[in-house]
Homo-oligomer: A and B are copies of this chain.
Amino acid sequence: MGSTPQPRRGNTRQRIQDVAMELFADQGYDKTSLREIAERLDVTKAALYYHFKTKEDILNSLFEVLNRPVEELLAWGAEQPRTLETKQEILVRYSDALTAAAPLFRFMQENQATVRDLRIGHTMKHRVMALVDLLKDEDAPLSDQVRCFTALMAMHAGVFALRDAEGDPEEKREAALEVAVELVTRAHDHGPGGSAG
């Protein structure tokens, strides 16, 4: 014979997502063409359109993996008392969610300009704002808001921005979490019952 008939395997949708995630994270969304994704999978571009309505749709489907845990975290956090322990637990859980979806997160960070016009851009923005709201006290001074926001950024950094630095990934993650907790703790201490001045 000569041509392997490529038995229509049923996992194509998943394989598209895997390859897309890899290429999006490596090269960026704009610079990754559907042709490239299709070629890697040895299918035609049209096959992608059987499984996803648009290019953005592929990205949306990837986003849900990250979005769901974060949404659950937000729901959980909204029901807890606004104690320091709660805040610390939120950071711990967020760190876990980040780690679980590390490539996507790196992607979001590096493609902000692109992602801004996409559906996931809006969603993501709201999620981060909601997280900050859970971490900061009401009417917190600007510098404390910055602390809480920076705490989240530290963890984002811990997952991917420090990837060029030496050291074990897990240790970096823990270091980032430590700094985040420190920042949020400081902000918390400034609050109504805090001790600092």
- The residues of A with any CB-CB pair to B shorter than 8 Å are 27-31, 107, 109-114, 116, 125, 129, 141-143, 145-147, 149-150, 153-154, 157-158, 161-162, 164-165, 167, 171-172, 175-176, 178-179, 182-183, 186
Contact = CB atoms under 8 A, between A and B. Distances in A.
A147 B183 CA distance: 10
Nearest to A25: B113
B154 A146 contact: yes
A112 B109 contact: yes
17 contacts: A30-B30, A30-B113, A30-B114, A31-B114, A107-B113, A109-B112, A111-B112, A112-B112, A113-B114, A143-B175, A146-B157, A146-B158, A146-B162, A149-B157, A150-B153, A153-B153, A179-B183
A179 B147 CA distance: 7
Given A28-B113, A31-B113, A114-B31, A178 B145 contact: no
A175 B140 CA distance: 12
A172 B150 CA distance: 13
A167 B142 CA distance: 8
Nearest to A109: B112
A129 B154 CA distance: 16
A38 to B, nearest CB: 13
Nearest to A158: B146
A154 B143 contact: no
Nearest to A156: B153
Contacts of A141: 175
B162 A149 contact: yes
Given A153-B157, A154-B153, A157-B153, A179 B114 contact: no
Q: Which 9 A-B pairs have the closest CB atoms?
A: A28-B113, A110-B112, A110-B113, A143-B175, A142-B175, A150-B154, A30-B30, A146-B175, A111-B113
